[in-house]
Structure 1
Amino acid sequence: MATEGRSAPSSSATTALESAGFVRLIARADGDAIAASALLARALAERDTPYQITVGRTIAERARRMRAPTADGDATVVVGTADAAATDAIRLPATDRPAALEAVDLVRDLGTIPDPVLALAGVVAAGGDPGAGESEWLVERALERGVVDRRPGVAVPTADPVDGLAHSTRLHAPWSGDPEATREALADLAADPDALEADDRRAIGSLVALDTVGADAATDAAAEAIGRALRPYATPEAAVATLGGFADVLAALARTEPGTATALALGHDVRDRALEGWRDHGRRAHAALADASIDRYDGLVVVDVDDAPVETVARLAVDFRSPEPAALALGEDEAAIATRDADALGAALEAISRDLADAVPATDTAEPDADGGVEYDVGHRRGYLRFGPGLEDETIVTTARELL
């Protein structure tokens, strides 16, 4: 099962998009890929080129969509790793850099100015630091235009810090997922969200950092993880309050409500619906992690979460609760792996998927194109597995331990 496609040279990709009568954009199910697809869609809209964005949760699902019939002159762009044997689509695999930055390059080649806020939200969703490395010029452009502003505090999508912090999946504190507990924790600091000064935001950031790293179950990695959520870039003209908050909402909805995530990234008026979906996602993820028992193995912790967003739980676990460098979240017919080091994750996920496929009884094969009913995806520091009934948790854990 091949997993790596070669990126099309920029000139050929640009030529194909410039001449296309219709463009299909097929995105990986994460915030970075959603942002990248929306950047490309906005550029196509400026050229009056019709397009369609769909989201594929697994590599095999994206490959099936890539193989769907198209009319002459149409173009297909896939954002995220896809089966190398599937069509001659333009590929933005986004393995070594954020998909949003790959999309920015292509958008500029098309003669369009990319939205720096959307691009930077994609960078953050990919685990990057806005302003670092290749994204430095995007921050400079955004600052010049006045669409971002660095300030103290925590990166959340809402102006109300209680609402934002209670549901944020960029941190995990003892009060996370519980608005009333969060309100009590911030009782002396956030009485009036509309009147917060810089000192108030600085105090909130300090309290959040202390509560996060000081939690009984917090690990050393929590300090680094919470640091990425502090001193945010505010986004006064965007639908959400900060870059980090934008990334958080896109990441949450990419897996549960991809249509809403896409609409938000395109600039449509879906803020209320998007935030409600993000709140539900955050509540479920934090509740699952707080209630779950965590089993520790050499190099891996395992969290049994049942009906919860497994990818978010795995990421929160490895960032805030895991003494090991990788976390496996086991759900019902799906699982997710998050790591602190993503160097070999793609190869490991392919091997895990292949071995698990061999363990699935033949009668449980769900998809004719799937390997034994097991499909997978890989992104930045995370992997996803989807499988039909018949796989025992012990088999999944053993396979993951052997191959990670």
Structure 2
Amino acid sequence: MSTEGRSAEPVSATSALESAGFVRLVARADGDGLAASGLIASALAELETPFQVTVGRTIAERSARVDPPTNEDDRTIVVGAADAAADTDDVIRLPATDRPATLEAVDLVREIGGTPDPVLALAGVVAGGSEPGAGESEWLLETAIERGLLEQRPGVAVPTSDPIDGVAHSTRLRAPWSGDLDATREALSDAVDGDSDALDADDHRAIGSLVALDAVGADEATDATAESIGRLLRPYATPDHAFATLGGFADVLEALARTEPGTGTALAMGHDVRETALEAWREHGRRAHAALSSASTGRYDGLFVVDVDDGPVETIATIVAASRSPEPVVLAIGHAEAALATREADSLGATVDGVARELAGAEPETEPAFEDGSEIGVEYDVGHRRSYLRYDPDLDNSTIIAAVREFR
């Protein structure tokens, strides 16, 4: 289960891609991974290099897709962690352990002479949990603003021009009306009354205030809620983009990575899939908030557990960590899968690796198959401030919780 391995130096990566006849891109299943793969795919298209993009939910899935090359000039780029066994001279790895995968992709694109799309790159940075313009992404933000691609305004970061639709289905905030379009419309009725396309700066400011007050004032809100909602206010609008704001674009990428990765890949590559993407995003938001509304919770020292019957566990864990957890780490448990999320800067890699090893030893000898037909076995993935586990459905929740507590 080791995720250790080498990363290609920029010069060798550049040389490998310049001579490539075909490139296979294998991306991590999150918004950051999709944005990174989209940036690289666009650069390969400019070079007229044939390529294929696939998305792997777990480290094992990505590692398995690093097949031996059919031809000598075939190359593979893996975005996200992969097993050391996947290392060959034909593989370029962007492990994205200490920084967003998007920034690693930006470096690679520039090395091969491409010009990365700053809006897509910044959306990937936001999806990865960082602020646009912070640290290494500062020049990307400055470039986007200078080119008129971004402009900051009052309001909330959502993908749609209709703020009611946007905040109701957003997975970047949690309020009493989240997931319920009618309840959201009633809650914002004082600020939105009529054509959403005619909203001015004062209207957006009023919407932001109402959303913030409802989120922070909710019964289950924590001290972290104010900080998380603050990141959504005064968004960067994208006047010529398919989605209304940078943060909204990031939210859509995150949803698609977990529900419709093919559509997400097409979106990151610049194809016109806006309506399909938005519908998937809405359904994803509805499921996440509905699952949270009926979830049971438990609190341990340093760990907050959310047990859901049905819902996207990674998204749920992220929402709870940002605004509902009294502890810094959240474990969301679903059916045969779980996710960890943290609002701290530390990595969850060692934790999830240890948990996976522990759970592998607890599996029954007779192994059924998952619903999708794949073999039973503990698989996991690691991203920025979150991780994902898939395991035998016969393992009970107490076993999962005990394993996580042991390795935290």
Tell me which amino acid in the other structure corresponds to 2:392: G
Corresponding residue for residue 322 of structure 1: 325
Q: Is the 8 A contact 2:106 2:116 kept in 1?
A: yes
Corresponding residue for residue 126 of structure 1: 128
Distance in 2 separating the partners of 1:366 and 1:81: 25
Is 1:373–2:377 an aligned residue pair?
A: yes
Corresponding residue for residue 62 of structure 1: 62
Distance in 2 separating the partners of 1:334 and 1:148: 38
Look up the SS of the partner of 2:307 in the other structure: strand
Q: Is the 8 A contact 1:301 1:327 kept in 2?
A: yes
- For structure 1, the residue ranges without an aligned partner over 5 or more in a row are none
Corresponding residue for residue 164 of structure 2: 162
Q: What are the Cα deviations for residues 17-57 of structure 1, in whole angstroms up to 9, with x where unaligned?
A: 11100000000000001000000000000010011110000
Q: What are the Cα deviations for residues 126-157 of structure 1, in whole angstroms up to 9, with x where unaligned?
A: 11111111111111111111111111111000
After superposition, the CA RMSD in angstroms is 1.4
Q: Figure out how many residues of one structure are paired with residues of the other and give that number.
A: 402
Q: Is the 8 A contact 2:153 2:201 kept in 1?
A: yes
Q: Is the 8 A contact 2:347 2:385 kept in 1?
A: no
Is 1:219–2:233 an aligned residue pair?
A: no
Is 1:364–2:370 an aligned residue pair?
A: no
TM-score by length of 2: 0.96
Q: What are the Cα deviations for residues 162-191 of structure 1, in whole angstroms up to 9, with x where unaligned?
A: 000000001000010000000001101112
Aligned partner (choices 173, 176, 183) of residue 174 of structure 1:
176
Aligned partner (choices 255, 273, 277) of residue 274 of structure 1:
277
Corresponding residue for residue 78 of structure 2: 78
- Of 221-230 and 350-359, deviating more is 221-230
Cα distance, 1:395 vs. partner? Answer: 0.3
Corresponding residue for residue 400 of structure 1: 404
Distance in 1 separating the partners of 2:166 and 2:375: 40
Distance in 2 separating the partners of 1:338 and 1:29: 15
Q: What are the Cα deviations for residues 191-250 of structure 1, in whole angstroms up to 9, with x where unaligned?
A: 221111111111111111111111001011111111111111111111111110010000
Q: Is the 8 A contact 1:26 1:65 kept in 2?
A: yes
Distance in 2 separating the partners of 1:8 and 1:200: 50
Distance in 2 separating the partners of 1:251 and 1:366: 27
Look up the SS of the partner of 1:176 in the other structure: coil
Corresponding residue for residue 140 of structure 1: 142
Please show how residues 107-122 of structure 1 align to structure 2 within 5 Å.
107-122=109-124
Percent of counterpart pairs with the same letter? 70
Q: Is the 8 A contact 2:158 2:167 kept in 1?
A: yes
Q: Is the 8 A contact 1:302 1:329 kept in 2?
A: yes
Tell me which amino acid in the other structure corresponds to 1:395: T
Corresponding residue for residue 205 of structure 1: 208
Tell me which amino acid in the other structure corresponds to 1:46: E
- Of 67-76 and 268-277, deviating more is 67-76
TM-score by length of 1: 0.97
- For structure 2, the residue ranges without an aligned partner over 5 or more in a row are none
Q: What are the Cα deviations for residues 345-389 of structure 1, in whole angstroms up to 9, with x where unaligned?
A: 10110000000000001211759xx99710000100101001122
Aligned partner (choices 375, 392, 395) of residue 391 of structure 1:
395
Q: Is the 8 A contact 2:20 2:74 kept in 1?
A: yes
Please show how residues 195-274 of structure 1 align to structure 2 within 5 Å.
195-274=198-277
Distance in 2 separating the partners of 1:106 and 1:83: 21
Tell me which amino acid in the other structure corresponds to 2:337: E
Q: What are the Cα deviations for residues 298-339 of structure 1, in whole angstroms up to 9, with x where unaligned?
A: 111111112210000011111111101111111111111111
Q: Is the 8 A contact 1:218 1:320 kept in 2?
A: yes
Aligned partner (choices 309, 313, 316) of residue 312 of structure 2:
309
Cα distance, 1:67 vs. partner? Answer: 3.0
Distance in 2 separating the partners of 1:71 and 1:342: 42
Q: Is the 8 A contact 1:360 1:372 kept in 2?
A: no
